[in-house]
Structure 1
Amino acid sequence: MRGSAQFRMFFSLAWLSLTLSLGVWWWILGFRQAKTISEISISQERQLELNRVNRMLQLEGSFFLSMLTLGGVTLAVLSYRDHKRSKLIADFFSTVTHEMKTPIASLQLQIEVLLEATTNPELKRKLEKIWKENQRIESQMGNAFYLASLMQGESLYLETLSLQELKESYSHHEPDLIWDVSIPLQKKVHLDRKAFFAMLKNLTDNAKRHGKANQIKLSIFQVKNQICFLLEDNGSGFQGNKKHLTLPFLRHSKTSGSGIGLYIVKKLMEKMKGKLEFPNSSYGFQVKLSLNEVT
C-alpha cells in the first residue's frame, strides 16, 4: 500500500512533466509556423489577419499551458497529501495495536489462572467464554498490526526453523489441531515464526467462525523442493469465486469479520517467498501454504 501511494506520486509528477513538455512543444511549433507564414509576402489585409491569429494562438496557448500546470500541480499536491494521510493512518494502527497487545496478553493470562483455580462449573463456563472472546480480540489486533506493517512496507524477521520446532511451538496455541506429518521433522523452512503462527491462527479461526468446523487437520508434506502445509476442516466450505478470497475488506459471509485475514496471509506468504492456494475439496475447506525447503 505504501508502494501504491509512492506510485501515485511518481505518476502524477510524470504526467505533469509529460503534458507540460507536449504543451510547450506545441506552443513553440505554433509560433514558428505563424512566424513563417507572416514572413511570406502577402497583402496588408492578410498580414493583419495573420497577426490577429498569432495573438489568438498566444492567448489560447498560454491559457492551455496554465490549465495543464494547474491540473498537474493539483494532482501532485493531492497525491502527496494522500501519501501523508496513509502514512499517518498506518502509524496510528501500528501504535494502537502495539499498545493494546500488552493488556490483552495480561488479561489472557489472568483468565487462564482463574480457569485453573476455579471449581465452580458455571463460573468456569463464563470464564471460558471470556477467554474465547479475548482470543478473538487478540486475533483481530494481530491482523491490524500486520496490516499496518504491510502498509508501511516493514520487513519480516526471517529465520530458519525445523518442522519439529514449529510443531512444538504452535501446539501450545492450538491444542485441538490434528497434525499429520508425512516427512521427517528435521526438514527446515525459512520464515517469520510470529507471522506464520498468526497466519495459521487466522486460518483456523476462519474455519471455526465462518465454516462452523469442529475438526481441523494440518498435513505437512513435500512436493519437489517445497514444504507444503495443508489445512483442511470438516466445515461447510466456501461457495463462491475463490479468486476473490484474498481481496482486502471484502466480506464473503454475514458472520463477523474484517475481510482482511486472507489478504494478510497472502501478503505475508509473498514476503516469505511462499505461495497461498485454495485446493478444490469435496467437503469442508482447504488452504495450502507452500514454502521452499532450506537444505
Structure 2
Amino acid sequence: MYEALPKAMNVRNVLFTCFFLLFILLPERTYAEQQQGSTENIMKWQMKWGDQDELDEGPPSIKSDDGWSNMSEGDTLPEKPYSNSTAWIKIHLPTIKFDRPGMLLSNIFGQRIKVFLENKEIYSSNIRFLYDKNNIFLPLEVSGGGKNIYIGIQTTKDQVGIQELPQIGNSEDLLHQFLLKDVINIILGSSFLFIALVIFICSIFLNKVHSSSWISLSIIIAGFGVLVLIYSPFLYTFYNDYSDVYLQLLDVALFVLIPSMTYFFELVLGTGYHSILTKFRKFQCAYSIVCFICLVVYLVIPRNFFEMYYNLTVDMFVLIVVVQLVLLTVHSIMQALKGNRNGILLAVGLIVLEITCVTEFIWFLIRSGSYDLFIWKWGVTVFILSLILVLGRNYAQNHNQVIKYAKELELFNTDLHRSEKLSIISELAASVAHEVKNPLQVTRGFLQFLTNRYSNQEKIYITMALEELDRASNIITDFLTFAKPQFESITLLDLNKELKHVEGIMMPLANLQGGRIQMQIPVHLRVKGNSSKLKQAFINVIKNSIEALSENGEINIWAYEEEDQTVIHIQDNGEGMSANELIKLGEPYFSSKTKGTGLGLMVSYRIIEVMDGSIEFKSEKGVGTEAIIRLPSAND
C-alpha cells in the first residue's frame, strides 16, 4: 500500500494541475458571448495618415474631411507609409441608449496612443516596448452620442490600426470583458510562478543529488511564467510606467531559462552523444553571463549600446534556442526509442510545444500580423506538465527504491542476527557435545549391564532410562552435525536414488499419520555431496511435513533442473504456519511441536548451506507448507 502512495499522490497532483490549467485557459470569448445582448458594435470607422506633430496638437489639426478612408471589420491592417508616422482613426458615436455607457477598443496596434472625444483628451498611453497590441476601455457619458472619437496612433512597427470592432455598452459589462481579456494571462503566469515557488521550497529539503533537478525545473517553470505575464497587455495597460522593467525582467528570465532547460534534460536523460548536452549547456551559461554584463552596460548607456544589445539578445538568442530545441528533441526521441519512459514524456512535451509555436507563428505571418497569439500557451502548459510528470515519476521510483532497500536491509539484518545466534550455538554445541557424549555412553553401558541383574519391573525402568539416554545422544549428534557439518566423503549423488531411499524410510511414518508420499524425480539429476548428510537433511524436512499432516494428508516431492541448479520441492497439505511462525523457522529452539527442539531443521539448513545450496519455505495457515531446496547441479 505504501509503495503505491507516491504514485497515487503524483497522479492526483497532475490531474489537479491539468484541470486547473484547463479552467484558466478556457476560451476568453465565453463571457463576451454571454454579453452580446448588452453591447452594440460599431461596424464602420475612418482612418487617415498624419505627421508626428499632429498627435501632440490633437484633433484640430486633422478635422478636415480630406484624406479619410472608410474601414470596417475584416479589412487588412494598413501598412504605415514611409513618410508618415501617425495614424488617425475617427469613430462616430451613435445615439447612446445605456445608462452608464462605455466603449471597448480591442486589439489596437500601436505604441503611443491618444484618444480624444472631439477636442477633449480622455486617454493616453506610451508603451516603450516592442509589444504593440492594446486593449482600451473608455468610460463615456450619455451626452456623448452623436460626437466623434479621434484615436491618434504612433508606432515603430509596420502595421497600425484596429483589428476588432469597437463596442459600446454598459460600463460594468465592458469593463468585465476588458479585464477578462488579459487577466487570463495573469492567472496562468502567476500559476506557473506559484508552482515554481512550491517546487523550489520542496527542493530545500532534498539532498544535493535530487535537489538539482527540482531547482532546475522550478527555474524553467518560473521563466515561462514570466514570459506569459510579460506577454500580456494587462501590465502595459495598467502599469505602463514600468514597461522598461518588464523588458529587463524578460531578458533575465530568458537568460536563466535556456541553460536550465538543457541542464534538466541532462540530469534526466543523460549527457548525450559525446557529452554534447553538457558542452552546449556550458556554452549557454557563458552566453548568459555575457548577456547579463551587456544588460548592465545597456542600462548605463542605452543609446550607444542598443544595436549591439539587440543583436546579441534577439538575433543570436533565437539561433541558440533553435539549436537547443533540435538537440533536446533528438536526444529525447533517441532515449524514447530505447524504451526510456522519461524520454517519451519529454519528447511528447517538446514536440507539442514546437508544433504549437511553429504553427501559430506561420499563421501569424499568413495573417500579416493581424492575429492574436494564444495557442503557444497550450504548448507551454503541455511541456511544463511533461516536466512535472517526469519529476513525479522519478520521485516515485526513488521512493520505491528506498522501500526496496529497506526491505533488503531488514532481511540482511535478520540473516545477520540469525548467523550470530547460530555462530554462538555452534561454538557452544561443539564444546558441550564432546564433553557430554562420552559420559552418556559410559552410563548407557552400565545400565545395559544392570538389566540382566534386576527383575522385570526394574528392567522397565532401566529400559526407559536407556531410551532417554539414546534421545539425549541423538540431540547431541544433531548438535555436532549442526556445529561441524563437514562431509567425510563427497561423491556424485543420483538424486532419484537418494530420495527413493528417503521415501522408503519415511513411508511407514507417513502411513501411521494417515498420509501418503508421492514423488516424481527425473533419473538424470545429479548433485555433489555426502549421501548420509543429504538424506538426513531431507528426512528432517519430510518428517516435519508428515507431523503436520492430518487424515488423508499428502506430501508431493518433485524436482527439476533450472539453469545451473537442481530444484527440489517438498509440498504438504498439512496445517501450515502463520507469517510469524514462518519468519522464525530455522531459528534455534523454535518448533511448533510440543516436544520439538528445532534442531532437526537447523541441521537441514546447515547441511544444505555447506553444499552451497539454499532452502526456502512458503506456508499458509490451514493450506499447507512448501519447502524449496536449491542445490548446485552436477550434470555435465
Cα deviation, residue 245, structure 1: 0.5
Cα deviation, residue 205, structure 1: 1.9
Tell me whether 267-276 or 155-164 shows the greater mean CA deviation: 155-164
Correspondent of 1:149 among 471, 476, 481:
481
Cα deviation, residue 177, structure 1: 2.3
- Structure 2: 5+ residue stretches without partners: 1-424, 445-466, 508-515
Cα deviation, residue 96, structure 1: 7.3
Which residue of structure 2 aligns with residue 243 of structure 1? 583
AA of the residue aligned to 1:155: Q
Alpha-carbon deviations, 1:33-59, whole Å to 9, x = none? xxxxxxxxxxxxxxxxxxxxxxxxxxx
Which residue of structure 2 aligns with residue 179 of structure 1? 519
Are 1:233 and 2:588 an aligned pair? Answer: no
| Cα distance in structure 1, aligned partners of 2:633 and 2:568 | 12
Which residue of structure 2 aligns with residue 76 of structure 1? none
Alpha-carbon deviations, 1:255-290, whole Å to 9, x = none? 321122222211111111110101356821111111
| Cα distance in structure 2, aligned partners of 1:234 and 1:93 | 39
Which residue of structure 1 aligns with residue 496 of structure 2? 164
Asked if the contact 1:210/1:255 (under 8 Å) is kept, the reply is no
| Cα distance in structure 1, aligned partners of 2:443 and 2:610 | 25
Change (3 A) 1:97 1:272: farther
Change (3 A) 1:278 1:139: farther
Are 1:255 and 2:604 an aligned pair? Answer: no
| Cα distance in structure 2, aligned partners of 1:140 and 1:234 | 31
Change (3 A) 1:205 1:187: closer
AA of the residue aligned to 2:517: L
Residue aligned with 1:200, SS:
helix
| TM-score after normalising by structure 1 | 0.50
| Cα distance in structure 2, aligned partners of 1:138 and 1:145 | 10
Residue aligned with 1:172, SS:
helix
Which residue of structure 2 aligns with residue 287 of structure 1? 627
Tell me whether 90-99 or 215-224 shows the greater mean CA deviation: 90-99
| Cα distance in structure 2, aligned partners of 1:144 and 1:86 | 8
Change (3 A) 1:237 1:170: same
Which residue of structure 2 aligns with residue 119 of structure 1? none
Residue aligned with 1:215, SS:
strand
Correspondent of 1:202 among 534, 540, 563:
540
Asked if the contact 2:557/2:570 (under 8 Å) is kept, the reply is yes
Change (3 A) 1:167 1:199: closer
Asked if the contact 1:143/1:264 (under 8 Å) is kept, the reply is no
| Cα distance in structure 2, aligned partners of 1:227 and 1:258 | 29
| Cα distance in structure 1, aligned partners of 2:430 and 2:482 | 11
Change (3 A) 1:145 1:235: same
Cα deviation, residue 185, structure 1: 0.8
| Cα distance in structure 1, aligned partners of 2:439 and 2:614 | 30
Asked if the contact 1:187/1:293 (under 8 Å) is kept, the reply is yes
| Cα distance in structure 2, aligned partners of 1:256 and 1:202 | 15
AA of the residue aligned to 1:172: G
| Cα distance in structure 2, aligned partners of 1:186 and 1:99 | 46
Asked if the contact 2:478/2:599 (under 8 Å) is kept, the reply is no
| TM-score after normalising by structure 2 | 0.25
Residue aligned with 1:185, SS:
coil
| CA-atom RMSD in angstroms | 3.7
| Cα distance in structure 1, aligned partners of 2:561 and 2:583 | 25
Correspondent of 1:192 among 505, 514, 530:
530
Aligned residues: 178
Change (3 A) 1:240 1:195: same
Asked if the contact 2:572/2:626 (under 8 Å) is kept, the reply is yes
Alpha-carbon deviations, 1:64-117, whole Å to 9, x = none? xxxxxxxxxxxxxxxxxx99976541204555788999xxxxxxxxxxxxxxxx
Asked if the contact 2:482/2:602 (under 8 Å) is kept, the reply is no
| Cα distance in structure 1, aligned partners of 2:590 and 2:487 | 25
Residue aligned with 1:279, SS:
strand
Matches within 5 A, 1:1-295: 87-92=430-435, 95=438, 142=474, 144-151=476-483, 153=484, 155-157=486-488, 158-175=490-507, 176-181=516-521, 184-212=522-550, 214-241=553-580, 242-251=582-591, 253=592, 255-280=594-619, 283-294=623-634, 295=636
Change (3 A) 1:229 1:96: farther
| Cα distance in structure 2, aligned partners of 1:243 and 1:159 | 33
The structure with the larger Rg is 2
Asked if the contact 1:211/1:237 (under 8 Å) is kept, the reply is no
Change (3 A) 1:261 1:100: farther
| Cα distance in structure 2, aligned partners of 1:100 and 1:172 | 33
| Cα distance in structure 1, aligned partners of 2:564 and 2:555 | 26
Change (3 A) 1:90 1:270: same
AA of the residue aligned to 1:218: I
- Structure 1: 5+ residue stretches without partners: 1-81, 102-133
Tell me whether 209-218 or 235-244 shows the greater mean CA deviation: 209-218
Which residue of structure 1 aligns with residue 56 of structure 2? none
